[in-house]
Structure 1
Amino acid sequence: MYINPISKGSTNRYFFLLEDTLYTTSGDTVFIISYRPKKDKTFDGLKGFLHINTNGYAIQSVVAEPLEKDFGMMVSIKQNYEFVNNQQWFPKELHTEIIFDNVLKASQNITYQMVAVGRSYITDINLNPTLSSKDFSQVEVKILPDANEKTDVYWNENRSEPLYKKDSLTYVLIDSISKAENLESKLAGYEAIINGSIPYGIFNFPINKIVDYNNYEGWRLGLGLMTNKKLSRVFEIGGYFGYGFNDKDFKYGADLILTIHKKSESKLHFSYSNDVTEKAGYSFFEKLDLTTTELYRKFIISNMDKVDIQKLSYSFRAFNYLNTKIYFSNEIFESTDGYSYGTSVDNAVNRFTFSEIGIQFKYAYHEKFMQTQKYSYSMGTDYPVIYGNITRGLNLYNGEFEYTKYELKLSQTFRIKTLGKTKLTLVGGLVDGEVPLSKLYTGHANNHSFDLDAENSFAAMQMNEFYNDRFFSIFFRQELGSFFRIKNYAPKFILASNFGIGEIDFNPKHQSLETIQSMNKGYYESGILINNILKQQFIGIGFGAFYRYGSYSYLKTADNFAYKFTCTINL
């Protein structure tokens, strides 16, 4: 994220220089002003030009590009405005140029760049349209399914500029290079990594069903597939199987998804799985992707229950920004760590059956999306995102326990101009009723030897150190930017601080080989992360350290430290 050179307080960070003065035919004056970060500043800054028209002292044109290349890529933009109907300045043209370094290697010492040029034009401007909220969609950018199949007639009718011979030859050359270097397959590979599945014909192959890892299963190999829209836009059907080399056990499952109404994203989902899941874990109605490091936590989970789950769910979108899932499930949990549940050790069992009905929701006000030919990508929102779960355990369909669970998560990312990006996440949960440990809450730790940093988890807390039937956690991160820059080398610093508190009521039915303790005294930790110490293209590798303190700190100071690698994907 870059600091806007015309934002409030920018004169303290940017150097501005009047380069030239022009005069228009209408009698207005245009000042051409260059800008760049001041020499003593180390923030992520831009450089370029501003054209200021004395008619309202408005921006007539702006040119901007990063001061330094980032991850082998340079993006520059030029936006022009016009004075519409002698009333209002309004955007007219947007030119974008993206330069990728070292895309093609001709020899040991010679590489070529790839330059992508985009031009957008706004026409038929109406300053006072009659519109309502229903006329606007959450989709900010949409690429039509047949966009790459339009005829020359269509493009000639809609092209703002003529197609010159140089342009035609460029298309031919790019097409030849694409075939020679297999660029389409490479781009498909990047898209597969981002979306978590590999498309091939009428099937999608989920990557995490082919290969995965966690400390309980070790390496897990298998195969999974789901039909895609090439077979049917109404249904998806598929299944998977896998084998863990550490727990030496097979897992398998099947899914059937019916699309009831595309516009409202209404889907009916039947699923069955014989698999494993984290003991006392929690999750929300969200898909963790490469934009968050939170997904790295799954690699170090070491305590899992075997599960056999039958589930029927119905999901839909309502009121534009509310995603909801209603479900019924029958679940059999089997403890694998020696834990059992009963009035005494002699009659305690480690296998439990739960029947649940529940609702999950996600509310992201003003969330925007980009719709491509295959996938939909969230562009985020400037407002807090709220997730919630309400679950009711029933004595039906062999269910053995009656209980109610409430879980809530609030996440907000915002930018403090003088500091950088701030991330704040609040999470809480409550179980009302007596249930085995599998349906309570772990402390959500992320500490096992030297591992990857994962946000929204406790970096210095040991795995399964705490169990709670009610808890509240705060996860805070503040990006500070780069304190120094040496050419393209500019590591980014982040401060982090986490807090958690919880309680567990005494229940003599818990029969555990390990002591069960809650974090009722309050758990505290803070740390610092340095991202992008090493970087290659879009991937940055760094290092970090956390320190736990307060009532749950260890007597030996060195034991309170937890050290992390950081891996960030800069898309």
Structure 2
Amino acid sequence: MRIKIIYFIIFLISAITLAQDDGSIKNDSIKRTMFIKQLGQGFLPSKLFNLDLKYLVKYNQYEGFRTGLGGETNETLSDKFRVNGYTVYGFVDKEFKYSIGGGFRVNKSHNTWINYSYTDDLTETGSTKFILDKRLFTFFEPRLLNIDLFHKHQTNRISIEHEIDKKLYTEVEFSISNIDPTYGYSFRLENNAFDVFETTKAKIALQWNPFSEINSEKNTVTKNGYPQFTFQYTKSFKNILGADFNFSKLDFRTIHKIKYKSENAFSLITLTAGLANGDTPLTDLYHAYPNNIRKETVLQRFTVAGINSFETMYFNEFFSDKFTTIIAKHYFKPFRIARLFNPQLVLINRLAIGNISNQERHDGVAFNSLEKGYTEAGIELNKLFFGFGLSTTYRYGAYHLPNEEDNIAIKFTFNITL
């Protein structure tokens, strides 16, 4: 009888230990999954504060190396408010830039937040951004290496973000900015030349992913569906809080992904369009995302290819107040050469068309119009070595250049996913 009791006790202790171990393994697995998810979103998590990886090290033609620290408080500290910010230093322009802000949640079920920030930093001229894209993160921003046309801005911003549901979310923003181009530029309007200026803007943006799959019990997105649609409207008000210009902008983007039966083979089509009306300075026009530097030979222009940029289009070559781009990529099934060596072939075609009104108003920067339609085609062989690959792109059509070498771009690619 004693032996049976002893065996029973041993069995009970073993069962409890196994259950604890199993629970520990599950907890470790959940923690590991959350860690990878946060890392993929650009944050290195700690107990109360998440370090923002975007600000550690970057490089561009104006600042040289740009390094600093940034981050935000996390839900462990509070799920009702957050504080965020960053500070960086450029080693060529020898200036500090920074931002400080925060927000508080007013509705949990719809993830509604009211936010405020003050930013003193640089922005690439002509780089209209969708304000909802702050949800996106890439470990490496290839175009940033080559950008040289920036304007300084000091911006106060207040916004409200709200999830109507998991397939449709929105943000409304109001901002006041003092803008100072770092290059010799002036905007001529009504016999005045504006070298520095102020803007007062209101924006509303919508992100609609109607085909995504939702877990109704957990109210989470289980699978991204396509196509996806992004809308944004901007209105700049003259004479309100010292603003100098009256203009409006309407921006649209759709992304569609076509999957095939072959494993990991798919096509990706991105259409982006923008329309600016009114007295719009160069800082708020569209540049179609060029990514080619002005060097004499192909090898001197050898840098890193972007994700949705035009690799043969030179920086500051075109600006538009109305434009459309279509980028079509086809990803073939990766070549299974070895366990850790699976390169992937990608075929690419890009089109940009646009126009510019009142070009004579923009003094100090010479540029062309996209009215004839810009075309280029390329091929990438990705993931050859630690995420790096190679690409070759050729410029053809109406903007084909007389010197054949100037129509060719050969670059690194970089693709890594978590």
Structure-2-length-normalised TM-score: 0.84
Alignment coverage as a number of residue pairs: 392
**Aligned partner of residue 264 in structure 1, secondary structure:** coil
Alignment of 1:537-552 (within 5 A): 540-552=387-399
The alpha carbon displacement at 1:413 in A equals: 1.0
1:533 to 384, 394, 406: 384
The alpha carbon displacement at 1:366 in A equals: 3.5
Alignment-derived partner of residue 101 in structure 1: none
Alignment-derived partner of residue 456 in structure 1: 308
**Aligned partner of residue 310 in structure 2, secondary structure:** coil
Alignment-derived partner of residue 409 in structure 2: 562
Query: How has the CA–CA distance of structure 1 residues 169 and 495 changed in structure 2, closer, same or farther, with 3 Å as cutoff?
Result: same
Alignment-derived partner of residue 112 in structure 2: 266
One-letter amino acid of the structure 1 residue matched with residue 323 of structure 2 = F
The alpha carbon displacement at 1:188 in A equals: 8.1
Query: Percent of aligned positions with the same letter in both sequences?
Result: 28
2:235 to 375, 392, 399: 392
1:168 to 18, 22, 34: 18
Structure 2: unaligned runs, 5 residues or longer = 1-11, 294-300
Query: How has the CA–CA distance of structure 1 residues 314 and 186 changed in structure 2, closer, same or farther, with 3 Å as cutoff?
Result: closer
Query: How has the CA–CA distance of structure 1 residues 220 and 531 changed in structure 2, closer, same or farther, with 3 Å as cutoff?
Result: same
The alpha carbon displacement at 1:232 in A equals: 1.5
Alignment of 1:200-215 (within 5 A): 200-215=46-61
One-letter amino acid of the structure 1 residue matched with residue 375 of structure 2 = Y
One-letter amino acid of the structure 2 residue matched with residue 548 of structure 1 = R
Alignment-derived partner of residue 518 in structure 1: 369
1:504 to 356, 371, 378: 356
**Does 1:360 find its partner at 2:205?**
yes
The alpha carbon displacement at 1:311 in A equals: 0.8
The alpha carbon displacement at 1:506 in A equals: 2.1
The alpha carbon displacement at 1:321 in A equals: 1.3
The alpha carbon displacement at 1:546 in A equals: 0.5
Alignment of 1:444-483 (within 5 A): 444-448=289-293, 449-482=301-334
Asked whether the equivalents of residues 413 and 421 of structure 1 are also in contact (C-alpha less than 8 Å), the reply is yes
Asked whether the equivalents of residues 106 and 114 of structure 2 are also in contact (C-alpha less than 8 Å), the reply is yes
The alpha carbon displacement at 1:316 in A equals: 0.4
**Does 1:411 find its partner at 2:255?**
yes
**Aligned partner of residue 415 in structure 2, secondary structure:** strand
Alignment of 1:40-439 (within 5 A): 168=18, 171=21, 190=36, 193-284=39-130, 285-286=132-133, 287-290=135-138, 295-342=141-188, 348-368=193-213, 380-395=223-238, 396-417=240-261, 420-439=265-284
Q: Distance in 2 between matches of 1:225 and 1:216?
A: 24
Q: Which has the higher helix share?
A: 2
Asked whether the equivalents of residues 262 and 333 of structure 2 are also in contact (C-alpha less than 8 Å), the reply is no
Alignment-derived partner of residue 26 in structure 1: none
**Aligned partner of residue 451 in structure 1, secondary structure:** coil
Q: Distance in 2 between matches of 1:233 and 1:487?
A: 42
Structure 1 residues 346-396: Cα deviation after superposition (integer angstroms, max 9, x where no partner): x5232111101120110011324799x9xx996542321000110111121
Q: Distance in 1 between matches of 2:284 and 2:181?
A: 11
Q: Distance in 2 between matches of 1:322 and 1:377?
A: 13
**Aligned partner of residue 372 in structure 2, secondary structure:** coil
The alpha carbon displacement at 1:532 in A equals: 2.2
The alpha carbon displacement at 1:520 in A equals: 1.1
Query: How has the CA–CA distance of structure 1 residues 221 and 377 changed in structure 2, closer, same or farther, with 3 Å as cutoff?
Result: farther
One-letter amino acid of the structure 2 residue matched with residue 168 of structure 1 = L
Asked whether the equivalents of residues 257 and 267 of structure 1 are also in contact (C-alpha less than 8 Å), the reply is yes
Asked whether the equivalents of residues 343 and 508 of structure 1 are also in contact (C-alpha less than 8 Å), the reply is no
Query: How has the CA–CA distance of structure 1 residues 267 and 555 changed in structure 2, closer, same or farther, with 3 Å as cutoff?
Result: same
Asked whether the equivalents of residues 344 and 511 of structure 1 are also in contact (C-alpha less than 8 Å), the reply is no
The alpha carbon displacement at 1:343 in A equals: 5.0
Structure 1 residues 484-542: Cα deviation after superposition (integer angstroms, max 9, x where no partner): 74676442111000000010012433111x3121111110000011112224xxxx221
Query: How has the CA–CA distance of structure 1 residues 551 and 163 changed in structure 2, closer, same or farther, with 3 Å as cutoff?
Result: farther
One-letter amino acid of the structure 2 residue matched with residue 547 of structure 1 = Y
Structure 1 residues 462-493: Cα deviation after superposition (integer angstroms, max 9, x where no partner): 11211000000000100122467467644211
Asked whether the equivalents of residues 213 and 225 of structure 2 are also in contact (C-alpha less than 8 Å), the reply is no
Asked whether the equivalents of residues 273 and 308 of structure 1 are also in contact (C-alpha less than 8 Å), the reply is yes
One-letter amino acid of the structure 1 residue matched with residue 250 of structure 2 = Y
CA RMSD of aligned residues (A): 3.2
**Aligned partner of residue 398 in structure 1, secondary structure:** coil
The alpha carbon displacement at 1:300 in A equals: 2.8
**Aligned partner of residue 173 in structure 2, secondary structure:** strand
Structure 1: unaligned runs, 5 residues or longer = 1-161
Query: How has the CA–CA distance of structure 1 residues 369 and 450 changed in structure 2, closer, same or farther, with 3 Å as cutoff?
Result: farther
Query: How has the CA–CA distance of structure 1 residues 424 and 334 changed in structure 2, closer, same or farther, with 3 Å as cutoff?
Result: same
Q: Distance in 1 between matches of 2:66 and 2:33?
A: 26
Query: How has the CA–CA distance of structure 1 residues 486 and 504 changed in structure 2, closer, same or farther, with 3 Å as cutoff?
Result: same
